[in-house]
């Protein structure tokens, strides 16, 4: 049975009783282990008894709705959980989404042109640019006008990314 006061769901997920009792556990249902997990920082410095008292007084826990992505997996027992809501196993996908969302708007098109994903380093961009410039150079395409146009687009994309990275040397160096 879930340790949350008044909850009758089965308590399948464990969470430490306090920061000082990391080997003693509450057993919660999925909703309540998540609520507890989300409140973990709030419980900092509280004893297990104080946390239990807080659980009892905290009506905000009733039937919570949890925004996806906000929940850490700190106390979720992954084996027991089997990830019914796909909030755990998607860390990599979420990282990719975040990277896409963080792409500077002025670089989205240039990076697509170069076939690169944010974040990029100057070296990565240079290497890719050289490959593309060689492949799409009109001389390598029998003087093809379309190749010439492609190369112009690639040049513009490269210039845009290079300018951006030069303006943010911290990012360029960190990559």
Q: Among the candidate windows 27-35, 42-50, 138-146, 166-174, which touches Zn ion by CB under 5 A?
A: 27-35
**Phi and psi, residue 130, nearest 5°:** -60, -45
We find the least distance from the C-beta atom of residue 60 to Zn ion, in angstroms, to be: 14
We find the least distance from the C-beta atom of residue 2 to Zn ion, in angstroms, to be: 3
User: Does position 38 bind Zn ion by CB under 5 A?
Assistant: no
Of 59, 56, 3, which Cα lies nearest the Cα of 33? Answer: 3
User: Does position 76 bind Zn ion by CB under 5 A?
Assistant: no
Residue placing its CB nearer to Zn ion in the complex, 7 or 48: 7
User: Does position 7 bind Zn ion by CB under 5 A?
Assistant: yes
Q: Among the candidate windows 7-15, 16-24, 97-105, 118-126, which touches Zn ion by CB under 5 A?
A: 7-15
Residue placing its CB nearer to Zn ion in the complex, 29 or 114: 29
User: Which whole-number Å values give the CA distances from 116 to 8, 93, 97, 128, in the listed order?
Assistant: 51, 17, 14, 8
Q: For residue 119, say if its preceding peptide bond is cis, omega within 30 degrees of 0.
A: yes
Residue placing its CB nearer to Zn ion in the complex, 4 or 43: 4
Task: Indicate which single residue of 17, 32, 136, 164 sits in contact with Zn ion (rule: CB under 5 A).
Answer: 32
User: Does position 29 bind Zn ion by CB under 5 A?
Assistant: yes
User: Does position 2 bind Zn ion by CB under 5 A?
Assistant: yes
Q: Are 38 and 28 in contact (CB under 8 A)?
A: no
User: Does position 34 bind Zn ion by CB under 5 A?
Assistant: no
State the burial class of residue 28 (Cβ atoms within 10 Å of its Cβ: 0-12, 13-18, 19+). Answer: buried
Which residues does 143 contact at the CB level (< 8 Å), separation at least 6?
none
């Amino acid at each position: 049975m879930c340790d949350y006061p008044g909850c009758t769901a089965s308590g399948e997920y464990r969470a430490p009783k306090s920061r000082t009792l990391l080997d003693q556990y509450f057993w919660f249902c999925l909703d309540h282990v998540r609520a507890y997990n989300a409140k973990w920082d709030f419980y900092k410095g509280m004893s297990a008894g104080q946390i239990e008292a807080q659980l009892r007084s905290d009506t905000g826990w009733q039937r919570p709705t949890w925004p996806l992505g906000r929940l850490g997996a700190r106390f979720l027992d992954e084996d027991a959980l089997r990830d019914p809501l796909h909030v755990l196993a998607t860390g990599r996908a979420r990282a990719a989404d975040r990277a896409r969302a963080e792409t500077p708007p002025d670089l989205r098109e240039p990076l697509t042109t170069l076939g690169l994903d944010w974040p990029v380093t100057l070296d990565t961009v240079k290497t890719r640019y050289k490959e593309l410039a060689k492949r799409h150079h009109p001389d390598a395409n029998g003087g093809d006008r379309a190749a010439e146009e492609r190369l112009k687009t690639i040049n513009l994309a490269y210039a845009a990314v290079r300018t951006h990275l030069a303006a943010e040397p911290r990012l360029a160096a960190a990559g």
